[in-house]
Chain A
Amino acid sequence: MNTEKTDAVLLAEAIQGGINSFEELLLRYERLYYNLALRMLLNKHEAEDAIQEACLKIYKSLRFCKNPEKYKSWSCSIVHNTCIDAMRKRKIQTESLDDVMLLDSGLTPEDEVILKESRAEVQRAVDLLPAKYKSVIILRDLQGYSYQEISETLGIKLGAVKSRILRARMMVKNNIELS
């Protein structure tokens, strides 16, 4: 639809109109949030919990979104931080292979089939990355964020985004080659 409302308009409506207006914003980005959380946490249940918590945080702090045009990166940063918190809480490092194995990630059989078909190797190579490299790869190569957007989402400098992406891609490449 060409008459689709912008994020900023929806945000203003959500602040005024409450939960129903917010649903529209949520529908627009929840898949993105979920993918981000799933790839960060590598566990369906944890990803779902994190999403729910993050969405509540986003909703509660809608008024404090300073730049309505950048709602996407702002809300993604909340999801990302919630995932980091969840990772810290469980204290199990992502290097544990059991965690990394997709079969143990609690995905539905359909999802698994899709993932297997579409280069499970690459998937694993990305999953093996440390959190800070994984988030830049997810945002850049899966969500198509610009460097500026990543910098805003993760709250890091543009130079750091640049070097992290470079290192992350090299790691992925190495991981694929190793497997």
Chain B
Amino acid sequence: MKRCGQVSNNISAYIDGELSEKEREKISVHLESCPECRAQLESTRKTIDKINKLPLVGLPDGLHNRIMERLENSAHTKLPDARPPAFGSSFKNVRRYATVAAAIFIVFVSLSAAGVFLDSVLSKNNSVQSPMAVYDSGAGMSAGIHSELAPEAMDMAAPLEEGISTQESYSETLTGNSDKVAFFAEPVIESMESEEMILGDAILFAEPRAAIAEGGNKISRTYYITIETEDFDQAVKLLEEMPGNNISSEAGGSDYNRWTNVRKRVDAEYYENAKELLQALGTTKDAGEYSEDLTNDLQDIEAKLLAKETEKDRLNGLLGSSKTLMVLTQVESRLSQVETEIEDLKGQIRYYNNQVSLPMLEINLRSFVKESAVDRVQPNFGTQVRYAFYRSVNFTLDFMQGLLLVLSYVGFPVVVLLVICILIFFIWRKARSKRRTRKGGGE
């Protein structure tokens, strides 16, 4: 036996004959015993009857013709075989995506244009610097600690090195057109001044020649340079004519890409001139200097030499006063041993002194291919745009990253708030539409 609620829920479907046989039977049984439900059935039937009697309105005059006309005009009397109607509906989306894509494209293009403009302005200020230099410079930077400093900064730092007497290693790497300098340092310094020498991120060290002037330190220097030159033969000739001793030299390469490596020792007084001369040979691609303070080593050796010479004097004295043959031979052999050691030490001193008075030059000379030279000095517009585009992409990525970081640190509550606001908005909209529907129903 069904309950009245269930019956009234199914009364419409019962009248329409849309119920299963089983349900229909159950409702029939209930209706027989329930006058209320029977009344409901009757009233519903009456309502349906009333609605059924509503007339169907005839088609207005000419509507059929207007429909046909519109079909003929719009459809071009052909069925859209090739084009599914979905295209029309998805066109809105396509247009939306196209707008977004266009906006992104415009942003990139304007960033690129700004990049090109900035490049042209910068290259007017500094005509030697090519846009490529920015990308080339990365290779030259091998240092763990590096800094962008103008050459003047090195001179400014020079007065700080007074009194440094410990061993130090100093290297500078010149890249591009000598506007980027990388410093690499291994500080083994105990003096107070060392702390003052930390400028920014860079740890600057004394220029070796200043040290020589101040404390008479013995410093050996090696200067290395990579040069690209258009006139390779002339450069090689000039290199050969340069005063100094060739330690080694090698050469190779094809007609268009020749190279030569030369190692040379020059007089210490000529060293600075030689550096300038080498830089004048062509474009400096890479350059730097190693230096080593040999003062301590030399002092060690000199102290040893002094000790040995004192021993030699004592042995000579013994030789004069020795009585027995056995003592004589022993002293004799010891003496010759000491003399050999003295010679050895003197040789070492000579070697160190040579290193100090004859700095080493390591020259890597390369021929310069003209086509690429043109590219390098004045890249064409396409290349400029390309690099400007790369930069704008990098810039955008950096910006996004920054934005994300800011959001993750500061903006988390903001994001949460935003999400809540959106949720509230949707709930409110839904509630509003529900209210309207109800009003529309006239309930």
Q: How far apart are the CA atoms of A59 and B79 in the complex, in Å?
A: 8
Name the prevailing secondary structure of the B interface residues.
Answer: helix
Question: B13 and A111: CB pair below 8 A?
Answer: no
Q: Which of B47, B59, B68, B81 contacts A169 (CB 8 A)?
A: B47
Task: Let me know if A66 is at the binding interface, CB within 8 A.
Answer: no
Whether the pair A169, B48 counts as a contact (CB closer than 8 A) is yes
**A94 near B440: Cβ-Cβ < 8 Å:** yes
A1 at the binding interface (Cβ < 8 Å): no
What's the minimum C-beta distance from B54 to chain A, rounded to whole angstroms? 6
Contact A147-B13, Cβ < 8 Å, known A26-B67, A51-B67, A55-B71: yes
Q: In the assembly, what is the distance between CA of A2 and CA of B251, in Å?
A: 105
Known contacts A30-B59, A52-B70, A162-B13; A119 and B53 CB within 8 A of each other: yes
A43 at interface (Cβ–Cβ under 8 A)? Answer: no
Against A, the Cβ 8 Å flags (1 = close, 0 = not) of B63-100 are 11011101110110111110011000000000000000
Pair A142/B52 contact, Cβ less than 8 Å: yes
Smallest distance from the beta carbon of A157 to chain B beta carbons, Å? Answer: 13
Chain B neighbourhood of A27, CB < 8 A: 64
Task: Report Cα–Cα, A110/B81, bound state, in Å.
Answer: 43
Q: What residues on B are CB-neighbors of A55 within 8 Å?
A: 67, 70-71
Q: Would A173 and B43 count as touching, CB distance under 8 A?
A: yes
Verify A118–B54 contact, CB threshold 8 A: yes
A146 to B78, CA, bound (A): 34
Query: Considering the chains assembled together, what is the distance between the CA atoms of A55 and B56 in angstroms?
Result: 19
Q: Assess whether A12 is interfacial by the CB under 8 Å rule.
A: no
Contact B71 A172 (CB under 8 A): no
A46–B354 alpha-carbon span in the complex (Å)? 106
Question: Which of A's residues lie within 8 Å of B, judged by CB?
Answer: 15, 18-19, 22-23, 26-27, 30-32, 34-35, 38, 44, 48, 51-52, 55-57, 59-64, 93-95, 107-108, 111, 114-115, 118-119, 122-123, 126, 128-131, 133, 137, 140-142, 146-147, 162-163, 165-166, 169, 171-176, 178
Residues of B within 8 A of A (CB): 9-13, 16, 18, 43-44, 47-48, 50-60, 63-64, 66-68, 70-72, 74-75, 77-81, 84-85, 436-437, 439-443
- In the A-B complex, the 5 residue pairs with the smallest Cβ-Cβ separation, listed nearest first, are A141-B51, A166-B12, A130-B440, A95-B440, A122-B50
